[in-house]
Amino acid sequence: MKLNDRGLLVVISGPSGVGKGTIRRALFNMPKHNLVYSVSMTTRAKRPGEVDGVDYFFVSKEEFMKRKEEGQFLETAEFVGNYYGTPLDKVNEQLDLGNEVVLEIEVEGAQQVKEKMPDCVMIFVVPPGKQALYERLRRRGTESEEIIRARIEKANREFQLAHLYDYIVVNDEVHNAADRIMAIIRAEHAKTERSIHKYMKMIEEN
Ligand code: 5GP
């Protein structure tokens, strides 16, 4: 018997370069889950190997702004010169179907989601140490020195925001971090406050 009609909204966030994307991919490769990834919209240029509609919906700045004015986003953020946003209609559609919707977004947008949908599950991914994060940002190698420096500065400010989250997950090994996130999602799903109404109704009817 299903105790929750509506799925969970799971926000995976954390400092720039911590490995959120890699963890998210590992999470979706795990067997037997009903997670749905919310594909974001962005104005940044496509990186080699990225696919439109899978990694992001790549749009022009004009189109992004038009959609923003029309209220089409759950949240938006500017990140190192580009815009990113979560399309609202798809999130609601999937939650209504009872699926767990996963957002992988930076911290500014995560705060907006918390304000608009307070029953979301907020997960903050942290590196095992600051040095590990800096090395990862440099190793990525797809950006100029200027952009890397901007991302490091941003990450240093973002470390301070951990207290706004429900859970902190250390990314020591990708599969460990993904396992921890899956455990959090399963436990949150079973929380009494999320299912008590439906459970009591069932008890009263039988
Ligand atoms: P990247 O350009 O490396 O793909 O992503 C840069 C940052 O933007 C990452 O921290 C990523 O998690 C975040 N991001 C991706 N999509 C969204 C979104 O829809 N909203 C927000 N606020 N951040 C996003």
pLDDT of residue 141: 63
pLDDT of residue 205: 87
Atom of ligand 1 nearest to the CA of 109: 22
Residues 6 or more apart whose CB falls under 8 angstroms from that of 161 comprise: 107, 111, 124
Place of tokens 């020591």: 172
- C-alpha separations of 91 from 53, 108, 113, 125, 183 in Å: 15, 18, 11, 22, 22
Distance 24 CA to ligand 1 centre (A): 12
Ligand 1 pocket test, pick from 106, 124, 147, 159 with the greatest ligand atom count within 8 Å of Cβ, gives 106
Supply 10's token pair: 């799971």
pLDDT of residue 104: 97
Mean pLDDT per 10-residue segment, the chain (206 residues):
83 92 95 92 96 97 98 95 96 94 96 96 94 79 77 86 95 96 94 87 86
pLDDT of residue 140: 67
Structural domains in the chain plus CATH codes: 9-38+99-205 (3.40.50.300)
Distance 198 CA to ligand 1 centre (A): 35
Measured over the CA atoms of residue 23, residue 74, residue 35 and residue 193, the dihedral's sign is positive
Let me know: does 10 contact 101? Beta carbons within 8 Å: yes
Distance 78 CA to ligand 1 centre (A): 9
